[in-house]
Structure 1
Amino acid sequence: MTRVYNDAGEHIPVTVLRLENCQVVAQRTEDKNGYTAVQLGAGTSKVKNTSKAMRGNFAAASVEPKAKLAEFRVSADNLIEVGSEIVASHFVAGQLVDVTGTTQGKGFAGAIKRHNFGGLRATHGVSVSHRSHGSTGNNQDPGKVWKGKRMAGHMGQTRVTTQNLEVVSTDEARGLILVKGAVPGSKGAWILVRDAVKSGAPETAPRPAGVRAAEAK
């Protein structure tokens, strides 16, 4: 994360996201697959670390082996040619996006840290259990602890989507996208950025996508 300043001189906290050679690897069509989507690949992977089946897929698309693959549902008229490279200008300033990633793992955490409990009183009979979660059930009826009861346990390292984050600016030359606020995941982690499901893409966004055409072989 870092910060930038707008025209009014206001400080805006942003997360810098980098597109790493993001290319269309395959298309999914209604006739062949029963749905319409594009498969994108990002990063690079050594050939020796890529299975033979995936080598064939990458070879058919005439792209280098990718470290990460993901599918994005699109409409039939917004399919992108295989081999095209998605660039940062696919997103426009002011656009809202949903960001999906795996949160940082915190290990085994208590109820106060994990669920923001208030804890027990500092005095008046409370001894050695100030940070405990308190009662977990009733008496003989129902005579059990209900599933989903908020208690101590493993915290973090879960797939989370943060919705409606604003794109502050983009840098196509360096492949950077600046998003206002924080996104789930640690530094260097892979994340998915898509148009906000609750607001969609703005009219100024490129259609079908902001791409750099595949180079002729």
Structure 2
Amino acid sequence: MTGFILGEKGEMSQIFDDQGIRWPVTKILTSSCYLIDIKTKDKDGYFAALLGFKAVKNIKKPVLGKLTKAGVKTPLRFLKEIRFPDSLDDILVLKNEEGKVNGLEIKSLNLKLKIGDQINPKLIFKVGDKVKISGKSKGKGFAGVVKRHGFAGGPRTHGQSDRERAPGSIGQTTTPGRVYKGKRMAGRMGGERVTLKNLKVVEVGDDYLVVSGLVPGAKGGLLEVVSF
């Protein structure tokens, strides 16, 4: 099954199955998600769909131009491309009588999406689907090696009162005379793109999804939900 949508992380909750086992779930709000443009391999060198998401009051003029061209009157905060793999043959490009690209067809869903259409999660996902969710993780600020990489720290005895959370040696002497690239050290933690796979859809509404488990980022963060 092929599907894609943008959403924002909502609240977490819990559900109970038939055996009384409690499962954590996360709600993803998907209202105001539109198909804005389509990138084709012939013209752009790759195949992707440009989606717009989250209605706001004010937007910048370049974004307004994109939305106006697509026929979307709702000001949207985010524009994000969902790139399709070359091996994917479930999505076809639709063209008008003049030969211009004006939409997509998802064959497995028997669904046609025109540029400017709002995407309804009920038409794309169903309960039991496995999805892949990508987002930006929570920023933790500047962190030491114990928190950032799980180092054990130094010994607590023999007079080393100030070495409990120190990284220890970071290299050799004159040879090689430098610190190797990729050495795990203290630095900024979090705020990176994180992808979680095989999350199960447990509920679908007109403007939301509920998936099992955790999803990346803070509440209100942008999420990409795909199933291909």
2:136 alignment partner in structure 1? 102
- Higher normalized strand content (fraction of residues): 2
Q: Which of 4, 15, 22 is the equivalent residue of 1:4?
A: 15
Inter-partner Cα distance in structure 2 for 1:142 and 1:32: 48
1:71 alignment partner in structure 2? 81
Is 2:46 the counterpart of 1:35? yes
**8 A Cα contact 1:50 1:65, kept in partner:** no
2:68 alignment partner in structure 1? 59
Over the matched positions of the two proteins, sequence identity in percent amounts to: 40
CA displacement at 1:12 relative to structure 2: 0.6
For 1:55-91, what per-residue CA distance to the aligned partner results, in whole angstroms no more than 9, with x for missing partners? Answer: 2322222212211111223455261311222122222
Inter-partner Cα distance in structure 2 for 1:30 and 1:144: 44
1:50 alignment partner in structure 2? 60
**8 A Cα contact 2:37 2:49, kept in partner:** yes
TM-score by length of 1: 0.80
**8 A Cα contact 1:100 1:161, kept in partner:** yes
1:82 alignment partner in structure 2? 115
Inter-partner Cα distance in structure 2 for 1:125 and 1:98: 50
Question: Which consecutive unaligned segments of at least 5 residues does structure 2 have?
Answer: 1-11, 94-103, 105-112
Aligned partner letter, 2:226: R
CA displacement at 1:40 relative to structure 2: 1.1
- Structural RMSD (CA): 2.0
CA displacement at 1:27 relative to structure 2: 2.1
2:164 alignment partner in structure 1? 130
Q: Which of 164, 178, 181 is the equivalent residue of 2:213?
A: 181
Inter-partner Cα distance in structure 2 for 1:13 and 1:115: 27
Is 2:24 the counterpart of 1:16? no
Q: Aligned with 1:32: secondary structure?
A: helix
Question: Which consecutive unaligned segments of at least 5 residues does structure 1 have?
Answer: 201-217
TM-score by length of 2: 0.76
Inter-partner Cα distance in structure 2 for 1:59 and 1:177: 28
1:153-192 matched pairs, under 5 angstroms: 153-172=187-206, 175-192=207-224
Aligned partner letter, 2:165: R
CA displacement at 1:104 relative to structure 2: 1.0
Q: Which of 171, 174, 178 is the equivalent residue of 1:140?
A: 174
Q: Say if 1:57 and 1:144 are closer, same or farther in 2 by CA, change over 3 A.
A: closer
Inter-partner Cα distance in structure 2 for 1:117 and 1:140: 26
Moved more, 107-116 or 124-133: 124-133
Inter-partner Cα distance in structure 2 for 1:40 and 1:115: 35
